[in-house]
Structures are given as C-alpha cells and as structure tokens.
C-alpha cells in the first residue's frame, strides 16, 4: 500500500510503502470498542467513596425505647433510613481496570490505523525539519488544515518540535510507544512521521 509523503511546509516528498497487515485491514468496530473500553476503564480513578453505617459519626446510644412509642423499632441514628446516616451499598474505592489480551490490544491499534487510512485521515510527513517557534508552526498547521490532529513520531519525539507544539490548541504529539487506539480515534487527522511508520511496523510485527 503506497501513500504520498509530504514535508511540514506542504511540499511533496515522494511516497512511502505501508504494510497492508497494519494499514489496510477492514476496521472492526467490536475490536475498537473493546480496546477503547479497556483504556478508559484503566484510566478511571475509582476514588469515589461514601461512608457506611460504621463510618458515620453518631452516638451508638439507642435513640428511644424499644416498646410503647407507637413507632417503629430503631437503634442508632447511623442507620441508613435516617438523614445523615450511613449509605447502604454505596460506591467504594476500587479499580475499574480489567484484563485484555495483548494480541487484542495490538489488533485494536492496527484496526485504528487502518480506519484512519480508509477514511483518508492519515498523513505521512518526512520529518519535522527545523522548527523552533510556536507561531511559525501554528501557521504551518493552519495552512495544512489540521484542526484536531495527533502527531506520532519515532521512538523519541523531536524535542524542539514538541516544545513548539505544546501550546497549539488541538495538536498533540506522541512517541511511537505512546500511540493508542483512543487518542487516534478521537482526532480528526492522524499524522505520522517516516520514522514513526518504521517504529510502528517494528512494534506491531
């Protein structure tokens, strides 16, 4: 599978061969859903907590006598039935993460890359060139028409480019090892450097 390659200024820089087993699959929504759900559940804090009957601060003295009041029998004010009492079966601190096989995670990344390629939202750039100013980079991004873009570099992100890009709204830069299904799918444009393509293919083969 061949795809045209450009430079950051928009000029052509030849073409690049993409592995069909990574960039030309028929995207499956069920696999993408499983991987995104795994990612989001793993990222969920799970720190929500309520106080149970044993944790609320109330006297343990019986609030009124057992018999002869004409009302229901009650013990402590900490019972869930009373305002300010403990919560019955409320949320507790826990992890929402669940297991997902490595093969499914890798397959999900392949399907996400293929989905972007099929939709025409995949852009390959040769390299970042010499970029040191945020204003200059923002103008280039605007000229290229990238509004919500994710840029994936090689094993390490170019430090000068990352510094120039960090204050541009809607632009995110990740190394190859940081490439993930959720970030790829939620962006309108996926931009990968030539070094990033080589590193991704080495990672997924």
Angle between helices 29-43 and 102-118 (to 10 degrees): 120
pLDDT at 15: 87
pLDDT for 12: 85
Looking at residue 191, its pLDDT comes to 94
Calculate the average pLDDT of the chain: 91
* pTM higher than 0.85: no
| Helix, strand, or coil (residue 149) | strand
Residue ranges per structural domain of the chain:
2-42+98-204, 50-90
Evaluate if residue 158 carries a pLDDT over 90: no
User: pLDDT tens-digit profile of 57-103?
Assistant: 988 899 999 999 999 999 999 999 999 999 999 999 999 999 999 99
**What's residue 102's pLDDT?**
95
The answer, yes or no, to whether residue 167 has pLDDT greater than 80, is yes
CA distance 150 to 140: 15
pLDDT per residue as tens digits for the range 31-62: 999 999 999 999 999 999 999 999 999 888 99
Q: What count of other Cβ atoms lies within 10 Å of the Cβ of residue 49?
A: 13
pLDDT in the model for residue 34: 97
Q: CA nearest 125: which of 1, 11, 25, 2? A: 11
Burial environment of residue 142 by CB neighbours within 10 A (0 to 12, 13 to 18, 19 or more):
exposed
Q: Kind and range of the H or E element at 4?
A: strand 2-6
The predicted pLDDT at position 17 comes to 87
Evaluate if residue 128 carries a pLDDT over 90: no
Classify residue 199 by burial, with Cβ atoms within 10 Å: 0-12, 13-18, 19+.
buried
pLDDT of residue 114: 95
Which is the CATH superfamily of the domain at 2-42+98-204? Ribosomal protein L4/L1 (3.40.1370.10)
């Amino acid at each position: 599978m061949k795809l045209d390659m450009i430079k950051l200024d928009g000029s052509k820089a030849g073409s690049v061969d993409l592995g069909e087993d990574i960039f030309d699959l028929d995207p499956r929504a069920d696999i993408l859903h499983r991987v995104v759900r795994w990612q989001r559940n793993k990222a969920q804090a799970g720190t929500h907590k309520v106080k149970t009957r044993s944790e609320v601060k109330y006297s343990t003295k019986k609030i009124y006598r057992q018999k002869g009041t004409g009302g229901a029998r009650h013990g402590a004010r900490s019972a869930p039935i009373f305002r300010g009492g403990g919560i019955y079966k409320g949320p507790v601190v826990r992890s929402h993460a669940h297991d997902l096989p490595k093969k499914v995670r890798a397959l999900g990344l392949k399907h996400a890359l293929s989905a972007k390629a099929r939709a025409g939202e995949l852009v390959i750039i040769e390299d970042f060139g010499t970029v040191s100013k945020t204003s200059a980079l923002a103008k280039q991004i605007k000229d290229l028409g990238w509004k919500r873009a994710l840029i994936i570099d090689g094993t390490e992100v170019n430090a000068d480019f990352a510094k120039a890009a960090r204050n541009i709204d809607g632009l995110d830069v990740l190394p190859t090892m940081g490439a993930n299904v959720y970030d790829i799918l939620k962006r309108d444009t996926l931009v990968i450097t030539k070094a990033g393509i080589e590193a991704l293919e080495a990672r997924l083969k």
